[in-house]
């Protein structure tokens, strides 16, 4: 059995949690490979409704091992809270493994995320303030602390003594903030280490064993392609790669082991936080989508900006990710609209272009060029067979497939696991 990567193909919140939960039925291993608790993955299945921030969305299947991969940054307090919550609701989390190579989010990361955002003023990124950017910055600058370091308290104490002094200089001298107490952090993180120790492993061993045995491995992405620091709307991005290639880096799977790459797309666009979004609707249609579809952030509760499907960005996403197919979610939401628009190009300074400009100012000036399609204006959430969808809905899906050169493997028509149309097989 192959390795299947499932990634966000827009600005995050496409419904990755639902799709991973659904497809884990056939899997043996699910690896969350990037981001941290900036992510919020909603799963609605027979056990209830769950909002997962760090734990893979495959955790509900008793035979499946779940890994939080090396490419993530982990706030242990949040992770322990999530484990406790799942356990209280009767979900067995003993099969959760944490890569010893994953980096830790430390108290100074969350503090600095807030301070750096405030310092940016009107140019704030709109981060989730979970310490993600500062933690990845420390990883790259080689002063990060890794999950495995918690297992050697003496060495951990030494690491901390350098880093806390360094961070306190920045906190007090640059931001005029209060310093942190090293011993307090040390004891707190040692307690976290003791609690998490049974889960901490060299997870690549388990991953490679599964691949050698031909078990189905799912790589669960977080965020979305347009939040990628290289190919997204930089600097209005997150700080690690949400791409399929990030799935290799963040788990330890070799690129040639990935057999299928499924991009999760919403049937329209949303974005939470700052930065350009060419198809954003500032009118009553945007408000209607937000209200009817309850488009509010899973992690921060902030209202999501809503807009039409951007096929220029979607095609780029399919190419950069090397997608073999798409999972199209929230098609049911569009049932409320009489006419639908798809962005098929941009007009930039009087010229028609069909790519995403690198320059943010230019991207902000891009005016979407739309194609209009009729809506279907009938509920579709109970339909499980593609051919039974209204003809207008099938035309809409077919047009998205054509524009992105990506076959729709899955069409999601509701938040529940079973509200799903399997249009074409993934394998
Ligand atoms: P993720 O971060 O990509 O996992 O997505 P989120 O969980 O943050 O946001 C997706 C939202 O859409 C959640 O509230 C899901 O329950 C919901 N959802 C997923 N698929 C569908 C769908 O097909 N229809 C509707 N109406 N809601 C969906
Ligand atoms: P899931 O996995 C939507 C956005 C933030 C902000 C930017 C940088 O649920 O799809 P960060 O805290 O990462 O430094 O914030 O990225 N962002 C997300 N938006 N879904 C997410 O995750 C996101 N994770 C980060 O809103 O604009
Ligand atoms: Mg989300």
pLDDT of residue 95 exceeding 90, the answer is yes
With a 6 A CB cut-off, is 238 part of the ligand 2 pocket?
Answer: yes
pLDDT of residue 11 exceeding 70, the answer is yes
Q: Is 422 a catalytic residue?
A: no
Residues 49 and 133 in one domain: no
Domain boundary among 196, 216, 251: 196
What does the pLDDT read at residue 298? Answer: 79
What does the pLDDT read at residue 235? Answer: 97
Ligand 2 atom 5 nearest Cα: 127
Q: Of ligand 2's atoms, which has the minimum distance to the CA of residue 41?
A: 9
Residues 174 and 207 in one domain: no
Domain boundary among 244, 261, 278: 261
Q: What would the mean pLDDT of 164-182 be, rounded to a whole number?
A: 98
List pLDDT tens digits, range 221-236: 999 999 999 999 999 9
Residues 90 and 107 in one domain: no
pLDDT of residue 379 exceeding 90, the answer is yes
Mutate to test the pocket of ligand 2, among 227, 228, 250, 296 (most ligand atoms within 8 A of CB): 227
With a 6 A CB cut-off, is 67 part of the ligand 2 pocket?
Answer: no
Domain boundary among 245, 261, 277: 261
Rounded Cα distance between 50 and 405, Å, is 33
pLDDT of residue 1 exceeding 80, the answer is no
Task: Give how far Cα 181 sits from Cα of 46, 161, 186, 187, Å.
Answer: 45, 10, 9, 10
Give domain status of residue 387, yes or no. Answer: yes
With a 6 A CB cut-off, is 10 part of the ligand 2 pocket?
Answer: no
Residues 74 and 216 in one domain: yes
Task: Give the Å distance between the CA of 271 and the centre of ligand 3.
Answer: 10
Residues 77 and 112 in one domain: no
Of the listed ligands, the closest to the CA of 117 is 2
pLDDT of residue 52 exceeding 90, the answer is yes
Residues 171 and 218 in one domain: no
Residues 6 or more apart whose CB falls under 8 angstroms from that of 340 comprise 308, 334, 372, 373, 374, 375, 396
pLDDT of residue 155 exceeding 80, the answer is yes
Task: Give how far Cα 337 sits from Cα of 74, 285, 332, 376, Å.
Answer: 41, 8, 10, 8
Residues 287 and 381 in one domain: yes
Per-residue burial over 148-170, b = 16 or more CB atoms within 10 Å of its CB, e = otherwise: bbbeeeeebeebbeebbeebbee
Give domain status of residue 341, yes or no. Answer: yes
Instruction: Tell me the backbone φ, ψ of residue 18, rounded to 5 degrees.
Output: -60, -45
Residues 223 and 93 in one domain: yes
Residues 314 and 413 in one domain: yes
Q: Of ligand 1's atoms, which has the minimum distance to the CA of residue 331?
A: 23
Among 128, 131, 46, CA closest to 89 = 46
Among 327, 334, 328, CA closest to 308 = 334
Rounded Cα distance between 150 and 193, Å, is 5
In which element (H, E) is residue 351 found?
A: strand 351-353
Q: Is 13 a catalytic residue?
A: yes
Task: Give the Å distance between the CA of 37 and the centre of ligand 2.
Answer: 9
Residues 242 and 285 in one domain: no
Q: What would the mean pLDDT of 267-294 be, rounded to a whole number?
A: 96
Of these residues, 37, 41, 228, 332, which one is catalytic?
41
Q: Return the residue matching tokens 């965020």.
A: 223
With a 6 A CB cut-off, is 126 part of the ligand 2 pocket?
Answer: yes
Instruction: Output the six-digit token pair for 154.
Output: 């003496």
Q: What would the mean pLDDT of 102-113 be, rounded to a whole number?
A: 98
Give domain status of residue 427, yes or no. Answer: no
Task: Give the Å distance between the CA of 326 and the centre of ligand 1.
Answer: 15
With a 6 A CB cut-off, is 13 part of the ligand 2 pocket?
Answer: yes
Rounded Cα distance between 278 and 316, Å, is 14
Mutate to test the pocket of ligand 1, among 15, 296, 382 (most ligand atoms within 8 A of CB): 15
> Which domain range does residue 350 map to?
266-422
Instruction: Tell me the backbone φ, ψ of residue 258, rounded to 5 degrees.
Output: -85, 120
With a 6 A CB cut-off, is 127 part of the ligand 2 pocket?
Answer: yes
What does the pLDDT read at residue 299? Answer: 81
Of the listed ligands, the closest to the CA of 295 is 1
Residues written for the chain:
427
Ligand 2 atom 20 nearest Cα: 12
pLDDT of residue 345 exceeding 80, the answer is yes
Task: Give the Å distance between the CA of 151 and the centre of ligand 3.
Answer: 31
Q: What would the mean pLDDT of 114-128 be, rounded to a whole number?
A: 96
Q: What would the mean pLDDT of 151-179 be, rounded to a whole number?
A: 97
pTM over 0.95: yes
Give domain status of residue 65, yes or no. Answer: yes
Q: What would the mean pLDDT of 148-153 be, rounded to a whole number?
A: 98
Q: Return the residue matching tokens 């788990």.
A: 251
Can you give the CATH number for the domain in which 212 is found? 3.40.440.10
Can you give the CATH number for the domain in which 349 is found? 3.90.170.10
Residue 186 burial by Cβ neighbours in a 10 Å radius (0-12, 13-18, 19+): middle
pLDDT of residue 297 exceeding 90, the answer is no
pLDDT of residue 336 exceeding 80, the answer is yes
Rounded Cα distance between 168 and 129, Å, is 19
DSSP code, position 404: H
Residues 178 and 211 in one domain: no
pLDDT of residue 242 exceeding 80, the answer is yes
Task: Give the Å distance between the CA of 294 and the centre of ligand 1.
Answer: 10
Residues 337 and 414 in one domain: yes
Q: Are the CB atoms for 220 and 32 separated by under 8 Å?
A: yes
Can you give the CATH number for the domain in which 143 is found? 1.10.300.10
Mutate to test the pocket of ligand 1, among 21, 45, 415 (most ligand atoms within 8 A of CB): 415
How many domains does one find in the chain?
3
Q: Ligand 1 pocket by C-beta < 6 Å: which residues?
A: 8, 12-18, 39-42, 44, 298, 329-330, 332-333, 412-415
Give domain status of residue 191, yes or no. Answer: yes
């Amino acid at each position: 059995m192959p390795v299947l990567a499932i990634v966000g193909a827009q600005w995050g919140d496409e419904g990755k949690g639902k799709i991973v939960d659904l497809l884990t039925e056939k899997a043996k291993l699910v690896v969350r490979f990037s981001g941290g608790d900036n992510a919020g993955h909603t799963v609605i299945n027979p056990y209830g409704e769950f909002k997962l921030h760090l734990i893979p969305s495959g955790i509900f299947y008793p035979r499946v091992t779940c890994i939080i991969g090396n490419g993530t940054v982990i706030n242990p307090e949040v992770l322990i809270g999530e484990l406790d919550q799942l356990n209280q609701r009767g979900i067995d989390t003993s099969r959760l493994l944490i890569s010893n190579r994953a980096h830790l989010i430390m108290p100074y990361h969350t503090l600095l995320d807030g301070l750096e955002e405030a310092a940016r003023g009107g140019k704030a990124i709109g981060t989730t303030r979970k310490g993600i950017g500062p933690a990845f910055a420390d990883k790259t600058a080689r002063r990060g602390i890794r999950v495995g370091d918690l297992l050697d308290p003496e060495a951990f104490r030494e690491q901390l003594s350098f880093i806390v002094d360094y961070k306190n200089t920045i906190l007090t001298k640059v931001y005029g903030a209060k310093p942190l107490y090293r011993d307090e952090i040390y004891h707190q993180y040692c307690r976290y280490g003791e609690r998490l120790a049974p889960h901490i492993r060299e997870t690549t061993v388990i991953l490679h064993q599964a691949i050698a045995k031909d078990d189905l491995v799912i790589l669960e992405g977080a965020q979305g392609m347009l939040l990628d620091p290289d190919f997204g709307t930089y600097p209005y991005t997150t700080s690690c790669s949400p791409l399929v290639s990030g799935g290799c880096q963040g788990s330890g799977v070799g690129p040639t082991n990935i057999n299928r790459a499924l991009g999760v797309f919403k049937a329209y666009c949303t974005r939470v936080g700052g930065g350009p979004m060419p198809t954003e609707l500032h009118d009553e249609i945007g408000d209607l989508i937000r209200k009817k579809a309850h488009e509010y952030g899973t992690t921060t509760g902030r209202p999501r900006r809503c807009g039409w499907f951007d096929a220029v960005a979607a095609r780029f996403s399919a190419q950069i990710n090397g997608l073999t197919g798409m999972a199209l979610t929230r098609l049911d939401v569009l049932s409320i609209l009489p006419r639908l628009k798809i962005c098929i190009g941009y007009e930039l300074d009087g010229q028609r272009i069909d790519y995403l400009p690198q320059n943010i100012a230019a991207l902000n000036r891009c005016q979407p060029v739309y194609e209009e399609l009729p809506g279907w204006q009938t509920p579709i959430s109970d339909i499980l067979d593609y051919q039974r969808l209204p003809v207008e809905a099938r035309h809409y899906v077919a047009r998205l497939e054509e524009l992105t050169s990506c076959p729709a493997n899955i069409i999601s028509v509701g938040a529940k696991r079973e509200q799903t149309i399997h249009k074409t097989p993934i394998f």
